[in-house]
Amino acid sequence: AAAMAGAALGEVPEVQIDGGGVFKYVLLRVRGAGAPHKDIVRGHGWAEYHADLFERTAEELARHGLSCECLGGGRLAHRPEERKIHVYGYSVGFGRADHAVTTEKLKAEYPDYEITWADEGY
């Protein structure tokens, strides 16, 4: 089971965010049975609440035998025309995500972007 969970974990994309705009995001820690964990970023404009992102992602992961916990949330301002993403804000329900962790994940996914973060703002 651990090997299968590890394989499933390996297939989970670290970053899935909308192609542009300002939207909420969550930082999630994904685990398989007895497998190591990995942290992922999910941010989409359709989500009215951070919990919407968490619940939909948790449902998707559960189908692959994985579980997740929310480490916090915030907002992303994604400006593809300027190749910039700014990470800021917090989630009322889940608290503030570690924006430094989120920024590192985004830098790996968008190496040619300028990615900044701040604890200020909502």
To which residue do tokens 């916990």 refer?
69
Q: Has 50 been annotated as catalytic?
A: yes
Residue 47's nearest CA partner among 10, 93, 84, 14 is: 93
Which is catalytic among the residues 44, 50, 78, 86?
50
Say whether 105 counts as a known binding-site residue: no
Sheet containing strand 66-79, strands side by side: 15-17, 37-44, 21-32, 66-79, 84-88, 114-117
Q: What are phi and psi for residue 118, nearest 5 degrees?
A: -150, 145
What the block records as the tokens of 61 is: 């992961």
d(Cα 22, Cα 43) in Å, to the nearest integer?
9
Binding-site residue ranges: 24
Q: Which residues are marked as active site?
A: 50
Q: Residue ranges for the binding site for substrate?
A: 24
